[in-house]
Amino acid sequence: MSKSVRKIVVVGGGAAGWLTAGTIAAEHSAGAETGLSVTLVESPDVATIGVGEGTWPTMRRTLTRLGISETEFIRQCDASFKQGTRFDGWHTGAIGDRYYHPFSLPLGYTKTSLIPSWQNRRREISFADALSVQSHICERGLAPKQSGTPEYAAVVNYGYHLDAGKFSQMLQKHCTDVLGVQHILDHVTGINAADNGDIVSLDSKQHGVIEGDLFVDCTGFASLLLGKHYGVPFIGRKDNLFIDTALAVQVPYPSPDSPIESQTISTAQSAGWIWDIGLSSRRGVGYVYASAHISETEAEAELRAYIEPSVGKDAESVDLRKISINPGHRQEFWHRNCVAVGMSAGFLEPLEASALVLVELSAEMLSEQLPVTRDTMDIVARRFNEKFRYRWDRVIDFLKLHYVLSERADTGFWIENRDEKSIPDSLKELLTLWHRHYPVNADFSQIGEVFSAASYQYVLYGMGFETVPGPATSRPPPDDEAERMFAENAENTRKMLAGLPRNRELINAIKESGLRAA
């Protein structure tokens, strides 16, 4: 009989390692007599890269599965509410160039298309403002729920901004204290293979041999198992996405009651863009750029100029952290009895916060399809690889879309991003299609797309794209019905703006009194 898969060994901590270990442990009763054994091994010397990260609304489902209180998560991780992303200066670079990609679906999305009705008034109101309440909520710095709304419930859809280091610490404690994950803090000194090529065990400096049946590589850029041990090739995607360097800094609020933004702010620069993430205690700010188009000194100057209104003369002396980025991913993500999750699988620029959601999706599929025996593992691995090769390609398409639609011509970076050679064929095909019909989920080949057609709509029409429908394109609702729906959205907006608290107000209330359990 084929060997049972009973011992799961996760190598590496951080959010990727602990989310993966916790997801498997929660679903498979780790620590119980009949459960699996889940062990996480991490080096005591590896620091967390995160300087403030954004999540998708999927994180609410993930935290619920792990049994983590939303109140405690917000208190322990300096978390705040994220309702989408605001893009400043991406389309033309002119004053007032701004659009939103909110987390809520456009008005009427599941029943009809209001895009043609909106296009007739596009000079009067933006796509997000006409078809969403959430852009208005974000613009006013309001929260996505009220203090009486239960944990993880929402008035409008939301994710989080969080401190990645504190998030990992909270996950570690919960996974070890509640979910039965065994934690080994030690250096891995060797990887031992069986005759068939599987990893059979790890050598560690102080804990000796650590055996396992399935090994999860969460060792970050080092990719100790999948990359270094197995030599699975890395596929660079710098031909599509040019950004390869980040400079990051923590920015304090002027006062404890300073407003907290309701969205990630992404501000275009000469050779990339600056992220601005508002946590409850501070802001995480960073400039991601293409080193082929700007020097480090020039990039530093642009970042310091961005934070100068917030920190004054200290902007010239504040320490910046440099992070090198090699955009791309492994050729495969599951090889033999080793699967990579997180940065060991790949990494792209942090536009649209795809890093953590890919961790969530990887951990979820791994846990749900965890092979019972070794002879079924290769089947699961093949399916996993097919799914995530597709997902990485779609993420690259969506990120590249933001650059392709830009009309900026002030620097080589923006001009070259529209070069035909840098645009994936799959994205070219979609853009050709969408010139004649409105984006719908049927345009994609898989269920559970990383980015739905709704996300594409917000970016396309936020950046000036126009669809000229053909005679076979689905018809919009009658004008009077469209007017009724737009008016209804305006009325819902008025009510929500009057009834929702400010972000800071709700965060303070949660820290003081907590949220009601669902």
Confidence of residue 347 (pLDDT cuts 50, 70, 90): very high
The residue-averaged pLDDT of 476-492 equals 90
> What pLDDT sits at residue 473?
62
Q: What is the pLDDT of residues 350-389, one digit of tens each?
A: 999 999 999 999 999 999 999 999 999 999 999 999 999 9
pTM over 0.85: yes
Q: Which residue did the predictor score with more confidence, 448 or 234?
A: 234
Q: How far is CA 38 from CA 3, 6, 216, in A?
A: 17, 9, 11
- Closest residue by Cα to residue 103 from 287, 263, 236: 263
Q: Which residue did the predictor score with more confidence, 356 or 32?
A: 356
> What pLDDT sits at residue 470?
74
Q: What is the pLDDT of residues 73-88, one digit of tens each?
A: 999 999 999 999 999 9
Confidence of residue 72 (pLDDT cuts 50, 70, 90): very high
Dihedral sign (CA 297, 300, 306, 308): negative
Q: How far is CA 126 from CA 12, 84, 419, 488, 515, in A?
A: 44, 16, 28, 16, 34
Residue 1 pLDDT exceeds 60? no
> What pLDDT sits at residue 446?
80
Fold of 244-324: D-Amino Acid Oxidase; Chain A, domain 2 (3.30.9)
- Closest residue by Cα to residue 247 from 386, 51, 518: 51
Confidence of residue 474 (pLDDT cuts 50, 70, 90): low
Domain positions in the chain are 7-52+163-236+328-393, 244-324
What integer best gives the mean pLDDT of the chain?
A: 95
Tell me the percentage of the chain whose pLDDT exceeds 70.
98
How far, in Å, CA of 515 to CA of 280, rounded?
Answer: 16
What DSSP line would sit under 408-466, residue for residue?
--SSHHHHHTT-GGGS-HHHHHHHHHHTTS---GGGSSSSS-SS-HHHHHHHHHHTT--
Confidence of residue 318 (pLDDT cuts 50, 70, 90): very high
The residue-averaged pLDDT of 330-348 equals 98
Q: How far is CA 424 from CA 122, 404, 453, in A?
A: 29, 11, 18
How far, in Å, CA of 79 to CA of 161, rounded?
Answer: 5
Residue 44 pLDDT exceeds 80? yes
**Cβ–Cβ under 8 Å, residues 285 and 249:** yes
> What pLDDT sits at residue 366?
98
Q: What is the pLDDT of residues 216-226, one digit of tens each?
A: 999 999 999 99
Residue 34 pLDDT exceeds 90? no
**Domain 7-52+163-236+328-393 CATH class label:** alpha beta
Q: How open is the CA angle 146-147-151, to the nearest 5 degrees?
A: 90
How far, in Å, CA of 440 to CA of 200, rounded?
Answer: 46
Q: What is the pLDDT of residues 113-163, one digit of tens each?
A: 899 999 999 999 999 999 999 999 999 999 999 999 999 999 999 999 999
Q: Token pair for residue 480?
A: 């009077």
Q: Which residue did the predictor score with more confidence, 44 or 507?
A: 507
> What pLDDT sits at residue 305?
97
> What pLDDT sits at residue 29?
85
Q: Which residues of 184-204 are buried (b: 16+ CB within 10 A; e: fewer)?
A: bebebeebeeeeeebbbbbeb
Distance of CA 87 to the CA centre of its chain: 16
